[in-house]
């Protein structure tokens, strides 16, 4: 018999999504059942993000929304976990938004979630357990994947880079790499379970292994080994830091059988002066040289990026350098953000904070340019036949399937549900800014 139902509300990046998949696996293992109906769930888990202020606002307003519901049904358990929880002084804020939160659990001990929820449901106690020290990384935890044929695989946890705007090193701890044997065993087990595509996850995948004694444990070596695993169709990874992306890595991808020709390479800014203030440890010229090396080895590779506008001290001239870099690279896609000050980071204390209106104006101008490039890049696919891993049916029409190319392009085409989880050949007939449409040819 089920112990009760649980519902996840997950914010933030793929790391958080994957943590939620593991927590869901642990809860299911202990006899709880998933539901997609938040209002009916016995347990609601909010996995939070604090990368920008907006992400935090979303969590606090959801907690406010849930407050009435919990008052009406005191047996409902609300749990809050994830990056936001690891910040100083956050517990009183959470309690203020929703005094009935029963469990607050950190990023280093989330694997105790099922045990804690069992206890709370038995004794109705309130638990708050936020370790500040990184705990040992547990292996072989059960997961509940969103897709049976796609999976995330952690390779590193935490981050040592301390970009001056970023909160991640403070809330996720120092960088820790998993053993290569454990990673490859997990991939093999996933493939045996029907997985065709894996995504290796780390804040900076290129520094994988730097903290291990094993001289063979480095990212190009890991990719090369994974590429040999029979039955695995696609290997993706994120995120690459430009300071650590090597020619060896580019060559491994270019020469591989299954590593997608797609690199997400966050540049953050086009001005070398701003990059230095961000502590990114590369220049605009270095970034452009990397792009050239990638294009030389893989002319058809897709490149995407993250950009921050309005970093403290960013002048209009600095911003023009970002626009210039975007024009020179021609990204397939990009995520652009207005700089958001984060408590405890060096950039928060810098003088010359940029007014919100100015940040919004720069963001709008940058987004226009990025959309122009995305359309242009998509138009280059017109008439071509691409291999698509079919994800599911489109939201608006169940006869339309949606999938992705190895370069990460979303492709819509007519077909039936049996194709989900398989690779299809699709000829591209129309190109829009964010999607391609086509017809299946095989
Ligand atoms: N580890 C990855 C990305 C982590 S966060 C990397 O180094 O690229 C994802 C993106 O959020 C970052 O690339 C950055 O563009 C953005 N970001 C991080 N901190 C931010 C802040 N304080 N304000 C605005 N955007 C931020
Ligand atoms: Fe944040 Fe920089 Fe680490 Fe990425 S590399 S998580 S931006 S500190
Ligand atoms: Fe990810 Fe947000 Fe944490 S971007 S690492 S969930 S702060």
Q: Which of 27, 5, 1 is nearest to 77 (CA)?
A: 5
Pick the residue with more confidence: 97 or 366? 366
Q: Per residue in 308-321, pLDDT tens?
A: 999 999 999 999 99
- Which ligand is in closest contact with the Cα of 56? 3
Tell me the CA–centroid distance for residue 11 and ligand 3, in Å: 8
**260 labelled ligand-binding:** no
What pLDDT does residue 167 have? 97
Question: What is the atom index within ligand 3 of the atom nearest the CA of 47?
Answer: 6
Cα-based angle 178, 242, 299 (whole degrees, multiple of 5): 105
Q: Report the alpha-carbon distance of residue 110 to residue 154 in Å, rounded.
A: 15
Q: Report the alpha-carbon distance of residue 428 to residue 379 in Å, rounded.
A: 9
Confidence of residue 223 (pLDDT cuts 50, 70, 90): very high
Tell me the CA–centroid distance for residue 83 and ligand 3, in Å: 6
**13 labelled ligand-binding:** yes
What are residue 434's phi and psi, to 5 degrees?
-110, -10
* Mean of the per-residue pLDDT values of the chain: 96
Tell me the CA–centroid distance for residue 256 and ligand 3, in Å: 30
Cα-based angle 317, 318, 319 (whole degrees, multiple of 5): 90
Dihedral angle of Cα 333, 210, 85, 43, to the nearest 10 degrees: 80
What pLDDT does residue 134 have? 83
In percent, the amount of the chain with pLDDT more than 70 equals 100
Per-residue pLDDT, averaged over 82-107, amounts to: 93
**Which residues on neighbouring strands pair with residue 302, listed in sequence order?**
262
Q: Per residue in 383-436, pLDDT tens?
A: 999 999 999 998 888 889 999 999 999 999 999 899 999 999 999 999 999 999
What pLDDT does residue 74 have? 86
What pLDDT does residue 1 have? 86
Cβ atoms of 362 and 320 within 8 Å: the answer is: no
Tell me the CA–centroid distance for residue 429 and ligand 3, in Å: 37
Per-residue pLDDT, averaged over 153-176, amounts to: 96
- Give yes or no for residue 135 having a pLDDT over 80: no
Residue 305 CB coordination number (10 Å):
23
What pLDDT does residue 151 have? 98
**Which residues on neighbouring strands pair with residue 47, listed in sequence order?**
10, 81
If one residue of 52, 107, 166 were mutated to test the ligand 2 pocket, choosing by the most ligand atoms within 8 A of its CB, it would be 166
- Give yes or no for residue 70 having a pLDDT over 90: no
Per-residue pLDDT, averaged over 267-292, amounts to: 98
Is ligand 2 within 6 A of the CB of residue 113?
Answer: no
What pLDDT does residue 202 have? 97
Per-residue pLDDT, averaged over 107-134, amounts to: 93
- Which ligand is in closest contact with the Cα of 17? 3
What pLDDT does residue 9 have? 98
Whether the bond into 239 is cis, omega within 30 of 0: yes
Domains along the sequence of the chain with CATH: 4-129 (3.40.50.12160), 146-260 (3.30.750.210), 273-380 (3.30.750.200), 385-440 (2.40.50.140)
Per-residue pLDDT, averaged over 59-70, amounts to: 92
Q: Per residue in 188-217, pLDDT tens?
A: 999 999 999 999 999 999 999 999 999 999
Site residues for ligand 1, CB cut-off 6 Å? 51-52, 165-166, 168, 203-204, 239, 241, 266, 268, 306, 308, 337, 339-340, 342
What pLDDT does residue 396 have? 81
Whether the bond into 413 is cis, omega within 30 of 0: no
**163 labelled ligand-binding:** yes
Burial class from Cβ neighbours inside 10 Å (0-12, 13-18, 19+) for residue 346 reads middle
Per-residue pLDDT, averaged over 250-277, amounts to: 98
Is ligand 3 within 6 A of the CB of residue 423?
Answer: no
Tell me the CA–centroid distance for residue 78 and ligand 2, in Å: 30
**98 labelled ligand-binding:** no
Tell me the CA–centroid distance for residue 17 and ligand 3, in Å: 10
Q: Report the alpha-carbon distance of residue 286 to residue 275 in Å, rounded.
A: 11
């Amino acid at each position: 018999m089920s112990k009760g139902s649980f519902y996840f509300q997950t914010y933030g990046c793929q790391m958080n999504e994957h943590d939620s998949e593991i927590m869901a696996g642990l809860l299911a293992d202990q006899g709880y059942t998933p539901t997609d109906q938040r209002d009916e769930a016995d347990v609601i888990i909010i996995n939070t993000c604090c990368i920008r202020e907006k992400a935090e606002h979303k969590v606090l307003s959801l907690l406010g929304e849930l407050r009435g519901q919990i008052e009406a049904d005191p047996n409902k358990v609300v749990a809050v976990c994830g990056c936001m929880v690891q910040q100083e002084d956050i517990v009183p804020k959470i309690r203020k938004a929703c005094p009935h939160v029963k469990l607050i659990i950190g990023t280093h001990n989330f694997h105790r979630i099922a045990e804690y929820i069992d206890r709370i449901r038995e004794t109705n106690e309130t638990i708050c357990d936020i370790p500040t020290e990184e705990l040992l990384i547990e292996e072989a935890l059960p997961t509940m994947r969103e897709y049976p044929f796609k999976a995330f695989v952690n390779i590193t946890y935490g981050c040592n880079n301390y970009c001056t705007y970023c909160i991640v090193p403070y809330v996720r701890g120092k960088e820790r790499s998993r053993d290569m044997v454990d990673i490859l065993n997990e991939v093999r087990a996933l493939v045996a379970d029907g997985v065709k595509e894996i995504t290796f996850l780390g804040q900076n995948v290129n520094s994988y292994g730097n903290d291990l004694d094993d001289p063979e444990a480095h990212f190009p070596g890991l990719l090369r080994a994974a590429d040999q695993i029979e039955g695995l169709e696609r290997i993706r990874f994120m995120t690459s830091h430009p300071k650590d992306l090597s020619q060896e890595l580019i060559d491994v991808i270019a020469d591989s059988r299954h590593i997608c020709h797609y690199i997400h390479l966050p540049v953050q800014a086009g001005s070398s002066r701003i990059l230095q203030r961000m502590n990114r440890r590369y220049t605009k010229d270095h970034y452009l040289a990397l792009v050239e090396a990638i294009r030389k080895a893989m002319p058809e590779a897709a490149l995407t990026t993250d950009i921050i506008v309005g970093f403290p001290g960013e002048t209009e001239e600095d911003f023009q350098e970002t626009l210039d870099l975007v024009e020179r690279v021609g990204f397939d896609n990009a995520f652009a953000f207005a700089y958001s000050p984060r408590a405890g980071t060096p950039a928060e204390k810098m003088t010359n904070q940029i007014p919100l209106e100015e940040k919004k104006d720069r963001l709008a101008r940058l987004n226009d340019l990025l959309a122009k490039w995305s359309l242009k890049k998509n138009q280059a696919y017109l008439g071509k036949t691409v291999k698509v891993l079919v994800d599911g049916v489109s939201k608006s029409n169940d006869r339309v399937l949606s999938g992705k190319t190895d370069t990460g392009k979303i492709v819509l085409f007519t077909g039936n549900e049996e194709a989900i989880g398989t690779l299809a050949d699709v000829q591209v007939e129309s190109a829009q800014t964010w999607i391609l449409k086509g017809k299946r040819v095989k």
